[in-house]
Amino acid sequence: MFCRSCGKKISPKSIFCEYCGEKQKKINTNKINKTSKHIWACDFCGKEFKTKLESDKHEKTCLENPINSKKKNTSKFKKIANSSRIIWFLSMVVFGIVASVLSVSVDKNFENLLSKIGLISIFIVGILAFLSMCLSFALHYSFTSSKGKNFLSRVIKLILNIIFLPLVIMRNLGDSLFGFFILLPMWLLGMFSFLYFFGFVPTSRSVSGNSMDPTIQNEENVKMYGFSLINKIINTPQKGDIVIFSSGRTADNQGQINDYIKRVIATEGDQIEIRDGYLYLNDQISNEPYTASARSTFGGLFLKECKKNTVPSGYVFVMGDNRKRSKDSREIGFVSINEINSILPVNKQSKFNDRQRDASRDQDGHGLPSFNLDDYYLKINKIRTDNGLKTLKRNEKLEKAALARAKSIVDNKEVEKFGENDKGKYPFEKAIRDSGYSNILTGEISTTGYYDAEELSNYWLDYETKKNLLDKQYQDTGIAAYVGKIDDCEVQVIVQEFGGYVPPNYSKSTIDSWRDVVNHLNSIIPSWENAKGWSSMNQEDLSKLLELLYREKTIASNILTKMESGKWLTNQESQSIDEYNSLANQSSALANKLNNQ
C-alpha cells in the first residue's frame, strides 16, 4: 500500500508511515463486495478493483494521492505555459510598436496633440508588454519542458529563467524552429530597441562637413546615443552635449531634410549674446576650448551682433565648433528638444579632449584687430606662389587707403551694404587717390568678422574675392582692419586694396590712324602758313585756323608717341582725345570758309 501523506509505498500492515511518520487510515472493508474472491482497493480513496493492475494504475492518478495533488497545483501554470508562445509573440509586437513610436522624433504638431501624460501612458504599456514577454517565455520553459516533479523547483527555475532569459533561449534553440527563427530574433530586436530607447546602445554616425572641426572632422564616424521622447522628458540636453537634429529648417535647396550635428551652447533660461567675436553666456564670456580658434564667433540672421536673447522652455541654442563654417542657431534659430534624435553627452566625449586648444588667453585680443599683418602677407603670397603667380608687394599707401575705407564703412554704418555693389560715401578709388597711390588697375575686397591670418586668406578663396587675390595683373596690395562701434556694438571691418600695371595693347590700326593724322597736319600746316598776308583771304580767320591746327598737331603727336612707346595714356591725355575731335571739327569748318572766299 501507499502512504496517504507522502505517497511512498509502505507495508500493508503499517499503522504509521516509516518515511513521514503519518498515521495511516484504515480502509472501510464493509464497502467491499464480499462476493468477490479477490478484492483490490485503492490505498487512498478505497475504490475497489477486480485486479491488482487496475488498482495500481488508479493509485498513480488518484486525486487523493499527495503527489497528484501537487501536480494539480501546477496545472494552471501549464495551461498558461502551453499558450506562452502566443502571449510572447503578441507582447513582442506591442513592445515593438511602442518602442518605434517613442523612438521616433516628432515635430511640434505631434507634440501639441500628444501630451506628456499620453507619452508616459504609452511608455507604461511598452514596459508591461516587455514584462509579459519575459514572463510568458520563462513560463514556457519552466512548466512545459521541465521533467521535475517538485513545484518549488519549478518556481525557482521560473525565476532563474527570467533573470537569464537570453541564455535560456540559446540553450533551447534546438527545441523548435519557432525558437530559432522567431523567438530569438525578436528577443534580440526587442532588447536592442529597449537599450537604444534608453540611450544605452550607441550607433555609429558618419559626419559630413567641417562645421564641427576640430572636434569632429569631415567623414569621421562618431558613436551617438539614441534620444527618444522619454529621454526628452526626463533627461534634457546639457551644455556641451553634441546633438544631431533635423527639421524643415535643415532642408537643402532641393527640399531634402538633412541631419545637422552641433554642440549645445545654451539651454532653457540661458541668456546669449555675441559681441566682438566672443560668445557671452549670461553676461560672461564663455570659455570654449573646443572651438577652432579664439574670437571666432559672429552673429547671423537670427542672432545678430550685440543682441541678447533668452532660450525658451523646451529649446536649446546650438553652434558648430568651427564657427566660421557652421550654419546653426545663429541662422536657423533655437532648436526644439523634440527635433533632436541623437546625443553624445559631454561626459562621454573624452576621446576628443586631445583636440581641444588652450583657451586661457582667448580674451587678450578684446577690442584689437584679430590678425597679424606680417603673417597675412606671408599666407596670401604662399597661395599665389602655389598657383604659379608672382607675389604681391606690400604697399604702405594702399594700407593707408584700406584703413581709411574701413573706418569710413564703420563711421557711415555701411556694413549692411556689403555685397550690394554699393561703393559708399567714400569710394575706394577716391581713397586710393587720396593716399597718393597711382596705377593703371585698382581693386578692393572687404568683409566683417574676426579672423586670424590663415582663416582670412582661406575665407577669400571661398568666394568671389578669390578673383582679386589670384589676379595676375596685380602687383601691389595693402590690407587694414578697423575695430569700431555701430550703435554701441563692436565690429571689425577688413579691407584689402590692390594695384597693378598692365602694358597697353594698342591695335596697329589705331596707331596707324594717329600717324596719318600727324602726317596730314604736317602737310597742310605749311600751305596755310604761306597764305599769310594774302589780301584775298581774311587774315583773322587764317590766324584762328592755324592756332587750331597747331593744337591738333600737339595732341596727335603726344598720343602717337605714347602709343608707339607702349605706354598708357594719362587721364589728361585720354581727355585730350575729345578735345582733338572738337578742334578738328572747328578747323574743318573754318578751312572750308577760307577756301570759299
Strand partners, 491: 484
How wide is the angle at C-alpha 197 spanned by C-alphas 193 and 203, nearest 5°? 80
CB 229 within 8 A of CB 338: yes
Closest of 343, 92, 88 to residue 205, by C-alpha = 343
CA distance 438 to 441: 9
Q: What is the dihedral of CA 280, 282, 283, 284, to 10 degrees?
A: -60
Cis bond upstream, residue 214 (ω within 30): yes
CA distance 89 to 83: 10
CA distance 364 to 278: 12
Instruction: Look up 326 and say whether it is catalytic.
Output: no
Q: From the candidates 262, 379, 400, 553, which is the catalytic residue?
A: 262
Closest of 529, 557, 551, 553 to residue 542, by C-alpha = 529
In angstroms, how far apart are the furthest CA atoms of the chain? 191
Instruction: Look up 211 and say whether it is catalytic.
Output: yes
Q: What is the dihedral of CA 280, 285, 290, 296, to 10 degrees?
A: 70
CA distance 305 to 283: 14
The grid coordinates of residue 473 equal 595683373
Q: From the candidates 105, 136, 193, 211, which is the catalytic residue?
A: 211
Q: What secondary structure does DSSP assign to 353-367, as a single string?
A: GGG----TTGGGGTT
Which residues are part of the catalytic machinery?
211, 262
